[in-house]
C-alpha cells in the first residue's frame, strides 16, 4: 500500500470530484493542487480560471500567488478582472468554485474576515477577495479546510461567504445563482449537506480514520450519514503526479530571481 | 510637443498631498512599488489608500504611517499568510488607527468600473448572505426598476491619483501594458490624475490592437522607472520574486525589524535604483 499524508488525501479527494471539461474557479493552496492534479490525471480538458483573469491556464508548477506569470504564460486567454466577476461568475458560467476559510458552520457558511468582533478583532484575516461571489454564483462549490473545533464551529465570528445560511432551504429564497457547497473536504473525510435540513453530515472517511475522530474534530454535534463510505486511497499514479508537481513547484519557487536592472 | 515625462520624485511631489485618495493598482502583476516607496520617502500622511489587494506595498505604507483609511477587498500576503503591518494597524492601532472600507473583489471591480464611466455607483448581484453590508454602510441595496430584483450598490471609486506601472510609454505619454491587467484600466479611467511608471520609454509604440493602451491625453505624468514593480513583476521583463514575498513575512512580523528594513532600504535610499542596489548588497 502507498503511504500518504492527510494533505495528499485531501488533494486527491478534491481532484476526484472534478470532471473533464468542467469550468473551475481555482483558489491558491490545496485547491490549486487539486485542480492541477485533476488536469494531469483524469480531466485533461478541465478549464481552470484563476481570479487574476487567467482562463484555461495549464501551469507546469503551482503558482505562489493567484497572479504568477506562469498562469498568464500558459493561459488560453487573459481577461480583465471586472470581466472575471461579471461575465464569468455573476453570469453563472462557472461550474465549480473552490473555497477555503478559517471557520465553517454546520450549514457551510464561511468566515475568512475576522476572529473576534469586527471592530476589535483578535485576529484580522485577509477578508473576502473573490470568495463571497464565488460562494453565491458558482454552480456548486467545494470547500477545503482542516478540521479542528476552532475551524468547524457552532457559530461563525463573521459570515464572509454564504453556504446554506440557516438551512432548510433558506438559500433558495435568495438570488444566488449557485447551489452552494456540495462537498466539504477536511483532513478526516468529507461532509455533504443533508436533504431538507441542508446541515453538513459525515458521508465519507479517509482510510484509517474513525467516526469518533471526526466527531472530536468538529465543534458542533456532527450528524453521521447512515452509510459512511471509506474513500479509496490515493493510487500510485495520483501520488506520483502530485509529488512530482510539488517537487517542480518547490524547485521553481526556490530559484533565485535576478533583481531587475 | 508637450511632454508628460517627468521623474517619479517630481510627480509625487506635485500631485500627492496629505489627505487625498490614492490608488496604486496592479493585480499581483505590475504593482507600482517604486511609486509607493516614493510616497513613503516624501512622508505623505492621512492618505485614503485604495487597492483591491493591499499586498506588500500597502503593508509598507500603512506601517510607515501614510494611511488613515483603506478601501480594499483582500488583505493578505498571497500564498504566504498575513500582512503583519496591516494587522497591527487594525488589531492594535499601530502606528495609528486605520479606518476600513471593506468590500469583495466583485464589489470593488464594480466601483472602479462605475468610477471610470462617470456613474455615481456600481451595481452587482453581490454581497448576498454576507455580514459585510452590516459593517460597511457604503454597501447598500437597490431594486432593479425592471425586474424588481434586489441588487447591491457600491459608490463609485474616483481616486484623486491613480498610480500604475506598465511595460512602456512613448515620448508623448501614451502607455502600453499587457499580461495580467487586473482592474488597472478601470482605475486609470476613474482617476482624476493618472501617473504611470514604466520599464522603458520608446520613440513610438508599436500598434497593439487589443492590448491596453492608455492614450496620452488621459495620462498626467509618465516616469521612467526600470524595475519599478519589483518584487512584483513585469511580464516580458522580470519575474515575481516569490522568495521575497516569503521573506517579507519575517521582516514585517515585528515592528522593529520592519522599521529597520524600511529605514535601510527605502528611507535611506534616494530613489528606486538605489533601493534595488541596496537589496543587491544584502543579497
Please write the tens of the pLDDT for every residue from A65-96.
889 999 999 999 999 999 999 999 999 999 99
pLDDT tens-digit series, residues A147-190: 998 999 999 999 999 999 999 999 999 999 999 999 999 999 99
What structural domains and CATH numbers belong to chain B? 5-103+158-282 (3.40.1080.10)
Number of other CB atoms surrounding residue A236 within 10 Å:
8
B271 touches chain A (CB under 8 A): no
pLDDT of residue B167: 96
The three cell numbers of residue B243 are 522568495
- Global pTM reads 0.97
Say what the alpha-carbon torsion angle A235, A239, A244, A245 is, to the nearest 10 degrees: 100
pLDDT at A255 over 90: no
Can A51 be counted among the known catalytic residues? yes
Q: Which of A51, A132, A260 sits opposite B276 (nearest CB)?
A: A260
pLDDT at A59 over 60: yes
Long-range contacts at A40-44 (CB < 8 A, ≥ 24 apart):
A40/A241, A40/A245, A41/A15, A41/A237, A41/A238, A41/A241, A42/A15, A42/A16, A43/A15, A43/A18, A43/A19, A44/A20
pLDDT of residue A226: 95
pLDDT at B275 over 90: yes
Query: Shortest CA distance to A94 belongs to which of A190, A38, A18?
Result: A18
Cis peptide, bond prior to residue A14, ω within 30 of zero: no
B28 touches chain A (CB under 8 A): yes
B240 touches chain A (CB under 8 A): yes
Max distance between CA atoms of chain B, in angstroms, equals 63
List Cβ neighbours of A227 (8 Å cut-off, separation of 6 or more).
none
pLDDT tens-digit series, residues B124-160: 999 999 999 999 999 999 999 999 999 999 999 999 9
Q: How many residues does chain B have?
A: 283
Q: Which of A52, A124, A254 sits opposite B28 (nearest CB)?
A: A52
Beta-carbon pairs below 8 A across chains A and B: 208
pLDDT tens-digit series, residues B40-61: 999 999 999 999 999 999 999 9
Nearest-Cα distance to chain B for A147, in Å, is: 19
Q: Spot the catalytic one: A51, A70, A133, A238.
A: A51
Cis peptide, bond prior to residue B231, ω within 30 of zero: yes
Superfamily of the domain at A6-253: Glutaconate Coenzyme A-transferase (3.40.1080.10)
CA pair distance A66, A71, nearest whole angstrom: 8
Residue in chain A lying closest to B102 (CA): A127
Amino acid at each position: 500500500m502507498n503511504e500518504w499524508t492527510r494533505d495528499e488525501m485531501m488533494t486527491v479527494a478534491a481532484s476526484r470530484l472534478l470532471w473533464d471539461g468542467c469550468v473551475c474557479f481555482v483558489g491558491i493552496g490545496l485547491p490549486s493542487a487539486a485542480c492541477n492534479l485533476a488536469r494531469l490525471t483524469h480531466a485533461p480538458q478541465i478549464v481552470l480560471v484563476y481570479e487574476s483573469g487567467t482562463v484555461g491556464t495549464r501551469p507546469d508548477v503551482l503558482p505562489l500567488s493567484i497572479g504568477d506569470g506562469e498562469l498568464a504564460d500558459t493561459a488560453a486567454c487573459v481577461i480583465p478582472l471586472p470581466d472575471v466577476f461579471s461575465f464569468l461568475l455573476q453570469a453563472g458560467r462557472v461550474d465549480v468554485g473552490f473555497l477555503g476559510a478559517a471557520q465553517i458552520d454546520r450549514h457551510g457558511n464561511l468566515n475568512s474576515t475576522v476572529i473576534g468582533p469586527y471592530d476589535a478583532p483578535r485576529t484580522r484575516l485577509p477578508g473576502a477577495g473573490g470568495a463571497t461571489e464565488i460562494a453565491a454564483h458558482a454552480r456548486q462549490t467545494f470547500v477545503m479546510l482542516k478540521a479542528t473545533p476552532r475551524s468547524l464551529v457552532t457559530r461563525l465570528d463573521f459570515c464572509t461567504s454564504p453556504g446554506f445560511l440557516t438551512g432548510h432551504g433558506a438559500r433558495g429564497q435568495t438570488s444566488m445563482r449557485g447551489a452552494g457547497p456540495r462537498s466539504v473536504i477536511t483532513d478526516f473525510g468529507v461532509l455533504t449537506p443533508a436533504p431538507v435540513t441542508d446541515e453538513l453530515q459525515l458521508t465519507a472517511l479517509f482510510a484509517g480514520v474513525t467516526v469518533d475522530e471526526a466527531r472530536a474534530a468538529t465543534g458542533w454535534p456532527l450528524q453521521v450519514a447512515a452509510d459512511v463510505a471509506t474513500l479509496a486511497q490515493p493510487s500510485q499514479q495520483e501520488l506520483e503526479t502530485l509529488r512530482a508537481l510539488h517537487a517542480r513547484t518547490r524547485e521553481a519557487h526556490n530559484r533565485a530571481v535576478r533583481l531587475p536592472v | 510637443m508637450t511632454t508628460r515625462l517627468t521623474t517619479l520624485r517630481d510627480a509625487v511631489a506635485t500631485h500627492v498631498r496629505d489627505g487625498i485618495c490614492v490608488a496604486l493598482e496592479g493585480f499581483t502583476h505590475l504593482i507600482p512599488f517604486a511609486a509607493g516607496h516614493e510616497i513613503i520617502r516624501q512622508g505623505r500622511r492621512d492618505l485614503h489608500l485604495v487597492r483591491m489587494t493591499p499586498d506588500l506595498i500597502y503593508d509598507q505604507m500603512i506601517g510607515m504611517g501614510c494611511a488613515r483609511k483603506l478601501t480594499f477587498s483582500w488583505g493578505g500576503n498571497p500564498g504566504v499568510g498575513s500582512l503583519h503591518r496591516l494587522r497591527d494597524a487594525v488589531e492594535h492601532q499601530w502606528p495609528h488607527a486605520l479606518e476600513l472600507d471593506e468590500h469583495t473583489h466583485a464589489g470593488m471591480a464594480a466601483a472602479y468600473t462605475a468610477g471610470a464611466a462617470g456613474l455615481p455607483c456600481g451595481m452587482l448581484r453581490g454581497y448576498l448572505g454576507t455580514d459585510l453590508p452590516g459593517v460597511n454602510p457604503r454597501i447598500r441595496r437597490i431594486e432593479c426598476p425592471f425586474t424588481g430584483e434586489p441588487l447591491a450598490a457600491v459608490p463609485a471609486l474616483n481616486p484623486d491619483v491613480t498610480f500604475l506601472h506598465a511595460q512602456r510609454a512613448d515620448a508623448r505619454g501614451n502607455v502600453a501594458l499587457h499580461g495580467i491587467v487586473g482592474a488597472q484600466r478601470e482605475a486609470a479611467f476613474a482617476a482624476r490624475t493618472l501617473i504611470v511608471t514604466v520599464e522603458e520609454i520608446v520613440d513610438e509604440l508599436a500598434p497593439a490592437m487589443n492590448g491596453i493602451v492608455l492614450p496620452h491625453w488621459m495620462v498626467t505624468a509618465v516616469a521612467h522607472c526600470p524595475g519599478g514593480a519589483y518584487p512584483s513583476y513585469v511580464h516580458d521583463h522580470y519575474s515575481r520574486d516569490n522568495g521575497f514575498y516569503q521573506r517579507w513575512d519575517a521582516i514585517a512580523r515585528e515592528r522593529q525589524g520592519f522599521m529597520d528594513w524600511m529605514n535601510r532600504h527605502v528611507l535611506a535610499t534616494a530613489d528606486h535604483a538605489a533601493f534595488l542596489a541596496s537589496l543587491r548588497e544584502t543579497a
